[in-house]
Amino acid sequence: MNGFSPVTFQDCKAFDLLATAVFMLDQDGMIRWVNNAGQHLLERSSRSLEGLAAWRLFEDEHAFEHAFEAILNGEFSSFGLMGGLLKNQGQEKLLVSATLQRLYQQAWCVILEVREIEQHTLAERNERLIKELEIHQETFRNLGHEVKNPLGGLRGAAQLLEMELSDPALQEYTQVIIAEADRLQELVDRLIRPGQDNLFLSVINIHEVCERVYALLKAEYRDDITIVRDYDASVPNMKADMAKLLQAYLNIGRNAAQSLLSVKNKDKLSITLRTRILNRHLLLNKMHRLVLVASVIDNGAGVPEALHDRIFHPLVTGRADGTGLGLSLAQEYVRQHGGLIEFDSVPGKTEFRILLPLEAA
């Protein structure tokens, strides 16, 4: 036994002193013991919870099952995820962070800790993100305006020089200058444009956007990546700028696909396009009765930890060939609709979520 002694039911009583909900799970993922905080969180007795499959407590059962299997198979010693916890037979949903920890030589295989994420915590995070984005966007707009005039002069001078050159070999050099000036001009326009564009609203269904993105990703990546559609058919129509939402969702989808193709093990690469509805959700410091969630989920290596706080900043990218504008522009387009993009990322599962209010639908 290497000096270890298994934890007994009597030992677990110490967990009743914790404010964190704690669940002891067997190798099949069944709840075998729950502390007082867990009973209080779910408003259920220990008798009604013991013997229940733990994944049935979570809105995204597959995500929990994936995490549980990864822990049980020894892929990770601990695994964290964030999502909806169901209570009152699924009538009420709590946003929680959950951590699974492998137990060895104990009476149970896995310990599950669950903490509710308070709405004010989300509000503070959303507000901080928006302020950061506004500062960065304003900085780059000012910089973009300063760069445009010299770029125009550079291009014009290259065109005049080309007219004076009779040697085609030398003209190739001026063509390179012109092409690079045009590329930089386009980059500057993309930095400046989001805040200046107006929304062209029409009544759309988000699944029109999802299907377009599905078709484009399928055509672009063919059999390299499996693309799964998981739609909530009850999502109502909404008023939105179709082109901007399409571009935002496509940017996220392409970002996921490019990240997948960069991993060493390219077996069973997959992206899931998913839609859901949240009831009474705080979004940008305002409580909304209905919020649309359009997710892009991939099973890649995840967002590097160093980029978590800067992933939506302009010109920040984890790829050598990336511009760092895709997610920044997507966030700006969604924000113009009164929404926000959030993400969670662990090895094996990354989810980017577009959250949009549906009151104006």
Asked if residue 314 lies in contact with residue 343, where contact means CB atoms within 8 angstroms, the answer is no
Q: How far apart are CA 105 and CA 6, in angstroms?
A: 6
Enumerate residues 6+ apart whose C-beta is below 8 A from 48.
none
User: What are the residue ranges spanned by the domains of the chain?
Assistant: 9-117, 121-195, 202-357
Q: How far apart are CA 270 and CA 319, in angstroms?
A: 19
What is the pLDDT, as a whole number, of residue 43?
85
> In this predicted model, what pLDDT tens digit does every residue of 238-294 receive, in sequence order?
999 998 899 899 999 998 998 888 765 666 889 999 998 877 677 776 777 788 999
Among positive and negative, which fits the CA dihedral 271, 223, 325, 309?
positive
| Mean pLDDT value across the chain | 80
Q: By C-alpha distance, which of 9, 117, 60, 75 is closest to 232?
A: 60
> In this predicted model, what pLDDT tens digit does every residue of 144-194 receive, in sequence order?
666 777 888 888 888 888 888 888 888 888 888 888 788 777 767 766 665
Q: Which tokens in the block code for residue 26?
A: 């067997």
> In this predicted model, what pLDDT tens digit does every residue of 196-242 receive, in sequence order?
467 889 999 999 999 999 999 998 888 889 999 999 888 899 999 99
> Domain 9-117 belongs to what architecture?
2-Layer Sandwich (3.30)
Q: How far apart are CA 26 and CA 71, in angstroms?
A: 12
Among positive and negative, which fits the CA dihedral 93, 90, 56, 46?
positive
* DSSP three-state, residue 122: helix
Report how far Cα 36 is from the mean position of its chain's Cα atoms.
33
Q: How far apart are CA 259 and CA 288, in angstroms?
A: 33
CATH number for the domain whose boundaries are 202-357: 3.30.565.10
> In this predicted model, what pLDDT tens digit does every residue of 55-71 receive, in sequence order?
999 988 888 888 898 88
Asked if residue 327 lies in contact with residue 341, where contact means CB atoms within 8 angstroms, the answer is yes
List strand residue ranges (DSSP E) for the chain, in order. 21-25, 31-34, 78-87, 92-102, 110-116, 202-204, 226-230, 238-240, 270-283, 286-298, 340-346, 349-357
Q: How far apart are CA 232 and CA 207, in angstroms?
A: 9
- Residue 27 DSSP code: T
Asked if residue 98 lies in contact with residue 81, where contact means CB atoms within 8 angstroms, the answer is yes
| Residue 238: φ, ψ to 5° | -145, 160
Q: Across-strand partners of 356?
A: 292
Report how far Cα 339 is from the mean position of its chain's Cα atoms.
14
Residue 1 has pLDDT above 60, yes or no: no
Residue 6 has pLDDT above 50, yes or no: no
